[in-house]
Amino acid sequence: MNFLEQDSSVIAPLYAKSALDFVKGEGVYLYDAKGKAYLDFASGISVNALGHRHPALLNALKEQSEKFFHISNLFPNEPQIKLAEKMLSLMKFGETDGATTNNYFSGKAFFCNSGTEANEAAIKFARKYFAQKGENRTEIISFLNGFHGRTYGALSATGQPKLQAGFGKMLSDFSHIEWNNADALKKSVGEKTAAIILEPIVAEGGILTPSKEFINAINELAAKFGFLVIADEIQAGMGRCGAFSAAELYGINADITTWAKAIGGGLPLGAVLMKNKIAEILKPGDHGTTFGGNPLACTLGLAVAEEISKPDFLKSVQARSEQLKNGLAELAKKYSWIGEVRGEGLLLGVPVEKPVADLINACREKGLLVLRAGADVLRLLPPLIISEEDVSNALEKLDEACGVLQ
């Protein structure tokens, strides 16, 4: 039995896995059992922002593992507090909230274990917020092609019917409208809207950026009707778009942001950052999780947050983004079947008119790991620490892979 057969003999068939047998990761590379190196432009699907085995992560892991792994949420834990402080300070909620409170952070954090859990919590908090205010608002509006997770609340918000098929009724009072359609949004929101939830860049669904008009409409309608805006930063946040928060980069006035993937430095961690007005209505028992905000995961999360907030880190992400975008634009000139690059920072995609799976396989042959988004988009999610040379290497490999498909 090969590795993949061994896997499928015991693991439920929920993923389309490839036969690669990775044994080690180091920096921006993964190595298979034969010692072949793969430039990792998938980052564990937007998780490994600092690449593999980054010294800051190894140090953080060592330090916390010598104290304790888990104590539950019945006691405060220092890594959780420090990560909340760090993320809230990077989030600048204070400024967008009109700095109405004396709390420097003007917001609070809730930690969970994954992206879907973060969105689940955000949806619950939004509905509870209005219930506590005595307002009958339960409607949640999200966008077609968006992706928010696989549990029922997050799946109900996910605008992809194929992912909901066969799972019975989704939650009530959820609706999906076309992305970037400001008019449709205007017609859909009203006094019953509790929240809209959006990915600042629709990632899984095809790397779709928001138009200025669309963002303006979101902000204006939220101000007019008083509903909450939930920005799902799970794939796009944490420096990936060249800014800490993708919502802030685009000027989306989010009341709640949801986080996962990169914030755990490779360990399972999710978070909800909410303005104080929402945190104020929550009380013990309203929501919770055993593992959420686990000290080990939060220690790694803090290491990630500290790295990405170093003075030149995001500038480097932006520079590598430009380099990659330019290189992809060159490839689009060379190969007629490659479309225009889209996305922001190091969350980039190019539509292709040949089967994406073939291109992904050809890239693997050349030692480059890449992903798909939507039906026909090649998605590139390199670690945020990549160097100029890494990007040049990746572009060369991609060029060679395209040549194979030509």
Does 156 participate in binding ligand PLP (rule CB under 6 A)? no
Distance from the Cα of residue 282 to its chain's centroid: 25
Look at residue 26 and give its three-state secondary structure.
strand
Does 204 participate in binding ligand PLP (rule CB under 6 A)? yes
End-to-end, the C-alpha distance of the chain in Å comes to 34
Does 203 participate in binding ligand PLP (rule CB under 6 A)? yes
- Which lies closer to ligand PLP via its Cβ, residue 371 or residue 395? 371
Contacting ligand PLP (CB under 6 A), which of 29, 110, 129, 147? 147
The CA distances from residue 147 to 151, 197, 208, 222, 232, in Å, are 11, 10, 12, 21, 9
Does 248 participate in binding ligand PLP (rule CB under 6 A)? no
Stretch near ligand PLP under the rule CB under 6 A, chosen from 87-95, 101-109, 141-149, 212-220: 141-149
Contacting ligand PLP (CB under 6 A), which of 48, 64, 77, 116? 116
Tokens of 383: 């670690």
- Which lies closer to ligand PLP via its Cβ, residue 296 or residue 381? 381
- Pairing verdict, β 342-344 and 270-275: unpaired
Residues 305-344 that bind ligand PLP (CB under 6 A): none
Tokens of 252: 């989306």
Does 149 participate in binding ligand PLP (rule CB under 6 A)? yes
The set of residues, in sequence order, having a beta carbon less than 8 Å from that of 279 and lying 6+ positions away, is 107, 108
Does 148 participate in binding ligand PLP (rule CB under 6 A)? yes
Residues written for the chain: 406
Contacting ligand PLP (CB under 6 A), which of 106, 209, 235, 289? 235
Q: Which residue is nearest to ligand PLP (CB)?
A: 115
Least distance (Å) between residue 213 CB and ligand PLP: 22
What distance in Å separates the CA atoms of residue 400 and residue 391, rounded to the nearest whole number? 14
Look at residue 378 and give its three-state secondary structure.
strand
* DSSP H helical ranges for 309-367: 313-334, 356-365
Contacting ligand PLP (CB under 6 A), which of 48, 114, 142, 245? 114
Instruction: Report the interface residues with ligand PLP, using CB under 6 A.
Output: 45, 114-116, 119, 147-149, 199, 203-204, 232, 234-235, 260
